[in-house]
Structure 1
């Protein structure tokens, strides 16, 4: 794996620090090892006229992964130095003939299956002045402009330079220049691409990839209950985007609250390599009562295309769920969700979620009727709270998708994970 020269230089420089400074660096270091066992089964129920009949009836794989995370402290002085790292290793437990392509493992193009194992090491050097931190190297992101996906065996990471400033109480500002991505089913870094699938109507000329993505923005806690956010991002020559977000949490009394999450994004093309033109509005209102949470969501796409975002990432949409993002051209979608935390009745660590989403008004072209789709998700998760199995988590995720413009899908994911704190 390639490392940036600056990251290596800064990391090497920390080795020559005084013993006192080195002790402070190590003293605040946190290290953990996660073992993640992942079974994935996706059944393709049928094909539609809009898409070819699937060449396989299902995608089914079983794999084991290990994720070692290290976040160091900082050396003493006006400028503190440190380093972060993510070590990743995954290997195949089962992947029968014709059932590869789950995203758990690296594809083996020669056989059409999956490689037996893969590994990677993401390293970022960091420097801190006051309450501002600069990182250079490989890292993950999670904000309105870009969010690394961690929905398979190993996480998605990016090669970038990233600065975060929290000099003003309640205000977080950040900016980054991103060059390449290592996707969750890849063992190396590659150029960044725009998502073009589904009925998004996004087209590109001269390829759908670039080696430059920039963003700047942040969040501000306007009041105790209200937080606002804004990000500007640019996938070079493919799209520009302005993203806005308001989150309000209103306490209603004993163990009651009302949370409102409103999101809006305006995306346009950046030059003549794409036709991106989209307005995306979404809102989610959630009423919490003791261990219960009842949510209603609405999302609408307008413009000449669907929503624009980096391929493989988690888009900043209220109706982005297990399989679908409900972000096709002109699509309107609705969500009803229910969560229950069993800690409220004396069973800490056990949680349940179910939701149903329906979308319509999808533009399928002049000769076809409007596109419709729906998705149902169910999730049950338990994390052992004590004893020999403490921190062992068992998670079952189920999804059903039906559509008149894409494949019908039934899906199950079973994830068993154990996180061991090492420092």
Structure 2
């Protein structure tokens, strides 16, 4: 009887701890669904080939984030479910990146995906394994179309040392913005980059490691190393300083440098320097950017991602071989005049000195404008509307006029 009573007591205690852990796992969970309605129009102003890329699509993103089980090591599980479907693709206007291409040159009617991420937390360190969306100087998942770019791999982030954030990861596959399948990663190639690849442009291993250290309340420095197997190796450093100048005033300095070299199957040889200086006063921000490419090729980064370049903008990256570019930018937040949720941005970039071989130097310019509003209160709270307009001209490729209209709504489920 005593043994039976003891066994029952142990079983009851174990069950109680398990239920408590499960309760914390569920209690701290979050869930939301985002609906995105996306219209994209890119008008090629001249030259042979497709005259326009124009599509309209609807997307849904279901995000689930669990809490953690109790104990020294807390375990959890996240999920990202995505669904996109075509509303209109016109005749011969596919290729916007909103939808999955089909074999006829058009777009598929719908596509979907499900990404699961297991996670483990110890003190201030977090390990994630599975579907990942990343944003750091080594690699940045793109989310500028209907559905986001998602990688498969593992990431460890540690903040156990005060002021220091360490970040390391391993990736082997990517599910791109207009795809429903995971595939090998690629090296990004673009006009006048000077990049050449021997063999297939495919890699199933991307490694990175680095971190950011906060030297003071106003100054932080970072370093990252990354390697896309067989394609390139990269060392990048950055320095960010924010100088308070008085009431609602500041001056921000953002400096970035990356050194990229080949890793066997490419000719990558690039030094990318960028600097962005921004003066902020109340709701106004005025920025001036400079970017310089040197070496035998343009900048190196994983295909489809957002590179860590100050002059990477809506259409162009201003990162061709030997290119020098400047940016002037203005932002205004209407909350400063009593209209919270309304923002405006415009910028102008110009680049020259691009290596075109025997031809004259390449030149390009781009003007962008964003205006966005997010409803702050009432039954339509969190409803967002954004219009993105861009014009790009150059002397080596096709001119582009582009418009994007995005209507989004996020509903919290938990």
Normalising by the residue count of structure 1, what TM-score does the alignment of the two structures yield?
Answer: 0.93
Give unmatched runs, 5+ long, in structure 2. 1-15
Change (3 A) 1:135 1:17: farther
Q: Does 1:95 align with 2:89?
A: yes
Residues of 2 paired with 1:369 and 1:396: CA distance?
A: 36
What corresponds to 2:108 in structure 1? 115
Larger CA Rg, structure 1 vs 2: 2
1:316 corresponds, among 308, 314, 318, to: 308
Q: Does 1:76 align with 2:70?
A: yes
What corresponds to 1:26 in structure 2? 26
Q: Does 1:395 align with 2:389?
A: no
4+ residue segments displaced more than 3 Å: none
Q: Does 1:242 align with 2:235?
A: yes
1:328 corresponds, among 298, 320, 323, to: 320
**Structure 2 counterparts to residues 157-236 of structure 1, below 5 A:** 157-236=150-229
Deviation of 1:26 (Å): 1.0
Residues of 1 paired with 2:79 and 2:192: CA distance?
A: 38
Deviation of 1:79 (Å): 0.9
Task: String of CA shifts for 1:43-77, please: whole Å, max 9, x gaps.
Answer: 00013xxxxx2x21100000000001111111000
Give unmatched runs, 5+ long, in structure 1. 1-15, 48-52
Task: String of CA shifts for 1:168-198, please: whole Å, max 9, x gaps.
Answer: 1111101111000000000100000001111
Task: String of CA shifts for 1:191-239, please: whole Å, max 9, x gaps.
Answer: 0000111110110011111100000001111110001111000000110
Q: Does 1:60 align with 2:54?
A: yes
Residues of 2 paired with 1:226 and 1:73: CA distance?
A: 33
Normalising by the residue count of structure 2, what TM-score does the alignment of the two structures yield?
Answer: 0.95
Residues of 1 paired with 2:304 and 2:188: CA distance?
A: 8
Residues of 2 paired with 1:208 and 1:264: CA distance?
A: 25
**Structure 2 counterparts to residues 223-302 of structure 1, below 5 A:** 223-271=216-264, 273-302=265-294
Residues of 1 paired with 2:410 and 2:229: CA distance?
A: 38
Q: Does 1:363 align with 2:355?
A: yes
Residues of 2 paired with 1:70 and 1:199: CA distance?
A: 42
Residues of 1 paired with 2:192 and 2:408: CA distance?
A: 35
Deviation of 1:349 (Å): 0.3
Count of aligned positions: 400
Deviation of 1:17 (Å): 8.2
Residues of 1 paired with 2:55 and 2:349: CA distance?
A: 27
Residues of 2 paired with 1:218 and 1:265: CA distance?
A: 15
Change (3 A) 1:143 1:389: same
Residues of 1 paired with 2:385 and 2:406: CA distance?
A: 6
Deviation of 1:161 (Å): 1.0
